[in-house]
């Protein structure tokens, strides 16, 4: 067997090893819904309010309330890299998406994925609060992060995807699209020297938050080889 064949086998064996090691964590059991002791009281109060409202409004036509936006990932795009600063362009773009933000978005570890183009531009940013709810982000594997970003991807031709899971006190985490966009912009700055090194991005992010906020990063390079 030739030397290059042996080396190819070694490389493939290492990739197979990586495939096994990169298995996402299995969620241990089903997550029980949180007990809400106030739920029965709220139901009674809601019924009372509905009766009162009907009495007051009768025989007026029923209210036509707009339905709340469906919760889910918020994709902010397109966004030139040059606009990705903590002021100016990023805010303007984020403002246009404010109407899609549900104030009742779940709290908990959030997903922030930044999709970069080859020419240093940023394709788009995905921000999903509560994406890793019920998970300890320290136990998330790289495959979990990549999968989460991939499932919520906002671009198909990116060269590099920077994926972050961020957890901590709610008041310290990005609370809206503006803040998420600013964070994405700031975290993208070290790309020049971080390249594809997730630990480098983690270090950068750690400097942006108090110690009570934890950040786990992963990158996915999509360049052809």
Partner 1 sequence: MPLPTDQPGPARDLADAAARVARGDREAFEVIHRRLDPGLRRLLARRTSDATLIDDLLQRTWAGVWEACRAGRYDPARSAISTFVYAVASNTWLRHLRGIKATDATSPDEHVDPDDPATADAASLAETLDMVRQALDGRFADLTEQERWILRMASEGAGDRTIASRLGISPSTANQAKQSAFGKLRRILARFGVRPESAERRDAPRE
Residue number with CB closer to partner 1 (153 or 182) = 153
Nearer to partner 1, 22 or 72 (CB): 22
Let me know: does 134 contact 27? Beta carbons within 8 Å: yes
Among 90, 110, 216, 220, binds partner 1 (CB under 8 A): 220
Tell me how far apart the alpha carbons of residues 177 and 164 are, in angstroms, rounded to a whole number: 15
Mention every residue, 6+ apart, whose C-beta is less than 8 A from residue 202: 215, 216, 217
Instruction: Compute the distance between CA of residue 139 and CA of residue 147 in angstroms, rounded to an integer.
Output: 15
The number of residues that bind partner 1 (CB under 8 A) is 39
8 or 100: whose CB is closer to partner 1? 8
SS3 30: coil
30 scored as a contact of partner 1 (CB under 8 A): no
Question: In the 8-state DSSP scheme, what is residue 210?
Answer: -
Stretch that binds partner 1, among 50-58, 178-186, 197-205, 217-225 (CB under 8 A): 217-225
Binding marks (x or -) toward partner 1, 129..168, rule CB under 8 A? -------------xxx-xx--x--x--xx-x---------
Choosing from 17, 102, 120, 134, the residue that interacts with partner 1 (CB under 8 A) is 17
- Whole-angstrom distance, CA of residue 154 vs CA of residue 161: 11
* Contact between 2 and partner 1 per CB under 8 A: yes
Residues between 50 and 69 with contacts to partner 1, criterion CB under 8 A: none
Alpha-helical regions (H) of the chain: 3-21, 39-57, 89-95, 142-151, 177-188, 191-194, 198-206
**Residues lying near partner 1 in the complex (CB under 8 A):** 1-3, 5-20, 22-24, 26, 142-144, 146-147, 150, 153, 156-157, 159, 220-225
């Amino acid at each position: 067997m030739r030397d290059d064949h042996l080396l190819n086998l070694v490389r493939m064996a290492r990739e197979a090893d990586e495939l096994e090691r990169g298995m996402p964590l299995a969620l241990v059991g089903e997550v029980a819904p949180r007990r809400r002791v106030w739920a029965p009281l709220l139901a009674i109060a809601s019924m009372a309010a509905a009766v009162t409202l009907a009495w007051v409004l009768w025989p007026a036509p029923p209210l036509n309330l707009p339905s709340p936006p469906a919760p889910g990932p918020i994709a902010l795009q397109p966004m030139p890299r040059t606009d990705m600063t903590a002021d100016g362009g990023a805010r303007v773009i984020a403002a246009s998406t404010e109407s899609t933000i549900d104030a009742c978005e779940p709290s908990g570890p959030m997903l922030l994925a930044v999709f970069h183009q080859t020419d240093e531009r940023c394709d788009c940013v995905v921000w999903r609060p509560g994406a890793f709810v019920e998970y300890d982000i320290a136990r998330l594997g790289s495959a979990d992060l990549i999968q989460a970003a991939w499932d919520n991807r906002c671009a198909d031709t990116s060269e590099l995807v920077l994926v972050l899971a961020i957890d901590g006190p709610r008041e310290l985490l990005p609370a809206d699209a503006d803040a998420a966009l600013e964070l994405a912009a700031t975290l993208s700055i070290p790309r020049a020297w971080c390249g594809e090194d997730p630990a480098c991005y983690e270090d950068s992010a750690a400097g942006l938050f108090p110690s009570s906020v934890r950040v786990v990063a992963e990158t996915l390079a999509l360049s052809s080889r």
